[in-house]
Amino acid sequence: MLRPLSTRGRPDAPFLPLHERVKRIVSERILLGRWAPGSVLPGEVQLAGEFGVAVGTVRKALAALVAEGLLARRPRLGTVVTGRSPEHSLRFFFRYFRLHGADGSLQNSQAVTLSLAEEAASAPDAAQLGVAAGERVIRLKRLRLVADRPVMLDDYRLLAARVPGFPSQADELPQLLNLFLLERWGIRVTAVREELRAEVATAADLQLLSLPAPAAVLVIEARCFDQAGQPSLLTTQRARTDGHRYVNEVR
């Protein structure tokens, strides 16, 4: 059961409006199959009581999801799950690949694990995660392919203490890491702070991304926050840019 969002019980996340948090929880339930397409949602009063918020907050969250096409209002029936997947809905957050085609089209990527290990956090990573240097972290490196072409290198770091029982074998890892964190440990990424820069490709970049020398790569460093407003995941991505564009839609 999801934690109520009452003032007394909700995590402190001042950067995220309350109606947006309700919207994301409802979206997650749809994404995870709790409310299948065609399902009728509980009434606004019931949802407000469950989440510990005002009815107006629930109404605003549901109205946003109706506008996105994830929900629909049906006379004499109520609010119904449509089964549609608008590109900007939370469904796409869990499998969102920010490198789009040169024409702006969505790209389906496949992640290939390069390495998976538990190690001591570096001083910069520890500071970003709000822990002491040397704290144990899970470090995962992946290569992303689009149509069998290497396009991006991913480097993830998350606190080992937050994910007890995290798989030690690459073949046990799912493609969708954010969804895995939600389903297994209840860690819900609700905000991301990104920094972008361009760099000359390293020797490893050239080899793994099949780039000719010299070449430039787009570097995307992100600090991800959970529903309690705590830093939960650090990512560094190095991407080739020929044939792709970076898209980050903020709503």
What pLDDT was estimated at residue 5? 42
Hey, which CATH number is domain 102-246, 3.40.50.300, 1.10.3720.10, 3.40.50.1110, 3.40.1410.10? Answer: 3.40.1410.10
Architecture label for domain 1-93: Orthogonal Bundle (1.10)
Alpha helices in the chain (DSSP H): 18-31, 44-51, 55-68, 90-93, 123-129, 177-185, 203-208
Contacts of 86 (CB under 8 A, 6+ apart): 68, 69, 70, 92
- pLDDT tens digits for range 135-192: 999 999 999 998 899 999 999 999 999 999 999 998 888 887 887 887 788 888 878 8
For the cut 60, the answer to whether the pLDDT of residue 89 exceeds it is no
For the cut 90, the answer to whether the pLDDT of residue 43 exceeds it is yes
- For residues 135 and 126, what is the distance between their CA atoms, to the nearest angstrom? 7
Q: What is the mean pLDDT of the chain?
A: 83
**Stretch(es) of the chain classified as CATH 3.40.1410.10:** 102-246
- pLDDT tens digits for range 33-42: 788 888 999 9
Q: Is the whole model's pTM more than 0.75, yes or no?
A: no
